[in-house]
Amino acid sequence: MNFSLESLVAQAYRNGASDLHLEGGLPAAIRIRGVLNMTGEPIPAAVLFETAQELIGHEQWPYFEERRSMDLSRTISSVRCRINILHSARGVGLAVRLLSTFEASLDKLNLHPELRRLLKPANGLVLVSGPTGSGKSTTMAALIQEINLTETSHIVTLESPIEYNFRPRLAFIRQREIGRDTPSFEQGLLDALREDPNVLMVGEMRDQETMRLTLNAAETGHLVLATVHSATCAEALQRIVSAFPAGIQNNVAAQLADCLVGVVTQKLFYRSDLSIRIPECEILFPTNAIKAFIRNCDFFKIPQAMEIGADHGLWTFDRYRQWLAKKSKWYIPGPNEAVASGEPDKFAHAAVPPSKPIPSAPPDGHSTKSPPAKNKRAEPIQISPVAGGLEKVLKDLGC
């Protein structure tokens, strides 16, 4: 078969797909409006193996062999993509996230203007939370772009990998990719404190040390924007505190209460009448009552405080849905914005491995020198090929 990653990405992007999944011996799977379907002919494992080698490059291939996965970003067919290359029972697979190409802003994302309130303080911590695939990175990019368009600030971003390339307007922006420009979030945060930033963006708080340094940066005169995985604002705050040993959780909770600017939790839903996906948000600002709940680790009391906190600008999901129902002006990306800017790919190589890569050889002992043979899965795949290919998928979705 004739396989081309470029053509698959271009076709998926033209049809509004958010994700493209490639696995040896299976057809390509595309996610459109949250629905995953297979299309086309099965892709040989050997072809995906060669594609992975081209994306990663000769120098970084040994790192991939040891870690058995790698994150990188590329511009493919003028589409900015975040790619995870992984080992599986079928060989080497790719999970490709197709990124938005227009310059994100709160208005363009149809977010509530109340989110601008998060950017008014000169220092403190802003959390953007939600499940995987809920658009956290895009909302973070919109917040950074708001600062970029309105303030003469020095912004440093720490991302793994870089998803959106910012063009400096009023702000001076440095973007650092974990693994390529700095070995870890921890090192990047330590460096940032010596780089005179006004605003720090932390792509993801994954571990205790990153959280500790992020809180310290928020306390020492910087506005810090960070993401965390959670389903509600209260859960986002609880997740940070619970990441620390029990003996110091009270101190961490007090620190969090003092430096918190606000929390946004979001999820996406599809508006068939507008043919776009809309963020649905819960927005928390730290009132005196909420600060007390955080200090006492009474996170279970926060949802009730948000229910009665409308006068303080707090938004529950229910109130936010009511605002969306009344909203009449929507931003719909035009055809010109559906095409990437065409900037040359600034990331010619995959991320530089850290000084101590973590080996994680597969239990079956497969070597990565050649594609492993296909193995029978113990569980049935939850998605199945669609007769008629991509055209049938789009017709069923009403495109």
Nearest residue to 163 via CA among 81, 55, 237:
81
Please write the tens of the pLDDT for every residue from 136-156. Answer: 999 999 999 999 999 999 999
The answer to whether the CB of 69 falls within 8 A of the CB of 50 is no
- Mean pLDDT check: name the lowest of 111-115, 188-192, 265-269, 357-361: 357-361
CB 237 within 8 A of CB 294: yes
Cis previous bond, 161, omega within 30: yes
- pLDDT in the model for residue 374: 37
Q: Is the pLDDT of residue 100 over 80?
A: no
Who has greater pLDDT, 79 or 351?
79
Question: What is the rounded CA–CA span in Å between residue 78 and residue 287?
Answer: 45
pLDDT on residue 395: 55
Which domains are delineated in the chain? Answer: 5-100+339-396 (3.30.450.90), 113-332 (3.40.50.300)
Mean pLDDT of the chain: 84
Question: What percentage of the chain reaches a pLDDT higher than 90?
Answer: 62
Distance from C-alpha of 284 to C-alpha of 257, rounded to nearest angstrom: 12
* Helices 233-242, 249-259: inter-axial angle, 10-degree rounding: 140
The arithmetic mean of pLDDT across residues 267-278, rounded, is 88
pLDDT number for residue 320:
97
Count CB-CB contacts under 10 A for residue 28.
24
Span 178-200, pLDDT tens digits: 888 999 999 999 999 899 999 99
